[in-house]
Chain A
Amino acid sequence: MKETIKKLTECFGPSGHETAVREAILAELPRGLETRVDAMGNLIVHRKGKAGGWRLMLAAHMDEIGIVVTHVDARGFLRFGNVGGVHLLPLLGGRVRFADGTIGAIGVEKTDDANKIPGMEKFYIDVGAKSPDDCPVRVGDVACFHRTCEERGSRIVAKAMDDRVGCAVLVHVLKDLKECPHDLYVVFTVQEEVGLRGATAAGFSVEPDVALAVDITLTGDTPECAPMAVSLGAGPAVKIKDRAMLAHPGVKDWLLRTAEASGIPCQREVLVMGTTDASVIQVSRAGVPSGCLSIPTRYAHSPSEMVDYGDVQASVRLLLGALAGPIDIG
């Protein structure tokens, strides 16, 4: 699975431009599954169930944060805006990559106060162009942050771990799934980082009985960070709540029970900011009991998002366990 994580995290896929990720996922999927791409670009994978099973939706988003070019100036420098929640701190000295492979270095204007973080409008991208005519990039082009995936011990660090690690988990669930009575829809969604847009449409078309998002969550185990009772390496986290949803208590208990029965370590997640695709699927049509399995991740929305490989493997095991038998959500 490490190869899947490396392959998917290094793909180009800012919100709205998920094609490369979708193709990489399609190439990884086991044969014999029904797949389709909907009007928004969501990849919907269907694994038929048996009579009496539930219609179950699992979602992970393919898109990542990035930047969009808003202006090419007279000297060929690019001004840009955010695609999704982009932190300002890691920008200076960072590199971005465009769809055609063009690499740009991020610079910043001189500042009056070195202790103040400048706004995004003060940063620019230098792709080595000497004039607008020499510039291979146009207004509206998007770029992802440019980093390779690296590992040391059980930790893996990469860009776009949010949420390619979730995609990798679902790919491996589909690979390893043996017995499953449920009609399973695994959806690799688009445009999560800009407002959960792909999942809004997919939740409507799939019309599931129960839904789970597989996404990352933050941790509270780094120096002087905001307190949070989730650590890297302590197992996947079962969501209780985040900024936009209260997980269905029955769905939450189903996951916690499965973890306990299988001896899989897991944590309880209360996230004060951020949310996942599950929050819009939950209120789709007449409402869908929904929850979220989260993979603890440090430095989320930076170009260096870090996970623990043990947590990732445990996430796959937990989902395989949860899908193997009847679902009881009370």
Chain B
Amino acid sequence: MLLERLSEAHGVSGREEEVRSIVLSEIRGRVDDCRIDGVGNLIAHRKGTGASSLRVLLAAHMDEVGLMITLAEDSGLLRFAKVGGIDDRVLPARTVLIGPKKVPGVIGMKPVHLTDNAERNKVVESRQLVIDIGASSKAEAEKLVQRGDTAVFATRYRSLAGEGSAWRTVQGKAFDDRVGCTLLVELLAERFPFALSAAFTVQEEVGLRGAKVVAYAENPDAAVVLECTGANEVPTPLDVSPSTRVGGGAAITIRDTSFIADPRLVELFASTAHRLGIAHQFKQPNIGGTDAGVIHKSRAGIPSITIAVPARYIHSPAAIMDLRDFDATLALVREALQSLPQALSSQGART
């Protein structure tokens, strides 16, 4: 299964090669042309039916949050830096895989026997942590791992809950945004009225860097960003909504911290979902940001929207999502895109 392979692939920001080669082998044959640009984005084109003269960009980012090795101590323990947004609290005692050789390691943590109460109630900052690959010296460590190598959480993809569950729950790392990459590969099997630019972008997690050059180079008439977004359903005493809900269907962004979705596109996706009875929800405003943040203000301005599959515990070693939400998102994007040219030509919807 493609999502499983992409989830387990290594692709910390700046080192997306493994993800890119999987995507490349999947889309060859489905696209008219493709290229890898100067910063590593994979951009493919697929002609439309000719019914519309528009060019539409669909984008999903290949990179994931992770760690980068900065130094081998004399003891052979490795210092590291975080790449992208990771909460220090999720790091201690995790297993990781480092570099192209996928060297296994453990993020070290003092055992409970040796810590006092005060220590146990404090978060250890990531710069005080080390990765232990079992090497006995600096020289031995440097034979296995180079400074600048990146590390990912050693998490296998698997199904949870199983037969009889209403949900088709899966667990894995890097759903953000291998889910979007998988959606985009699937969508490349479709024929749309417009010419399609499909961009698998790099370095989203460190500042939307890949998408910035994609938007400039492709100069599309509209853009749809395919994402995996956070759901937080840890119980709270107050009646306030989580960002999104797992099992609630495709999440439509109205506004987040990086952009305001074009109201015509919000209306297109919401009305398509409504018309076809596709499960959907609106992501709570003002949370997070995506590649749309740089795409929408590229060149003279590009009407943009983000559509996402909700997942719990993103940016941690193991996220959880419901494949029914994935299917709903795929169905929604596939259907809504057929009417995108008409939606954009309606001027009245801008409020």
- Residue positions of A touching B, CB distance < 8 A: 15-17, 19, 38-42, 68-71, 73-74, 79, 81-82, 99, 121, 139-140, 191, 194, 197-198, 200-202, 204-205
Contacts and interface: CB of A to CB of B under 8 A. Distances in A.
Interface in B220-260: 239-241, 254-255, 259-260
B297 A73 contact: no
B351 interface: yes
B350 A139 contact: no
A198 B299 CA distance: 11
A181 B142 CA distance: 68
Contact of A139 (B239, B285, B302): B285
Q: Which of A38, A81, A99 has the most CB of B within 10 A?
A: A81
A194 B303 contact: no
A205 B297 CA distance: 11
Nearest to A72: B241
B350 A191 contact: no
A255 B26 CA distance: 59
Given A39-B300, A140-B255, 12 more contacts: A17-B351, A40-B296, A71-B239, A79-B240, A82-B286, A139-B282, A140-B282, A197-B259, A197-B296, A198-B297, A204-B299, A205-B301
B284 interface: yes
A68 B286 contact: yes
Interface in B254-293: 254-255, 259-260, 263, 282, 284-286
B122 to A, nearest CB: 24
Contact of B299 (A16, A82, A191, A205): A205
Interface string B291-334: 00000111111110000000000000000000000000000000
A16 B255 contact: yes
A154 to B, nearest CB: 36
Contacts of B240: 70-71, 73, 79, 121
A268 to B, nearest CB: 31
A36 to B, nearest CB: 11
Contacts of B254: 139-140
Nearest to A197: B297
A191 B262 CA distance: 12
A121 B240 CA distance: 10
A79 B299 CA distance: 35
B300 A201 contact: yes
B47 to A, nearest CB: 23
A41 B350 contact: yes
A121 B239 CA distance: 12
A127 to B, nearest CB: 16
A69 B285 contact: yes
Given A73-B239, A139-B284, A140-B285, A19 B299 contact: no
B284 A201 contact: no
Nearest to A199: B297
B285 A19 contact: no
A39 B302 contact: yes
Contacts of A191: 260
B241 A71 contact: yes
Q: Which of A40, A41, A121 has the most CB of B within 10 A?
A: A40
A71 B287 CA distance: 13
Contacts of A68: 255, 285-286
A81 B286 contact: yes
B285 A39 contact: no
Contact of B239 (A38, A74, A99): A74
Given A70-B241, A71-B241, A40 B301 contact: yes
B300 A205 contact: yes
A177 to B, nearest CB: 26
Interface in B331-351: 350-351
A203 B160 CA distance: 51
Q: Which of B260, B286, B350, B351 has the most CB of A within 10 A?
A: B260
A39 B351 contact: no
A38 B255 contact: no
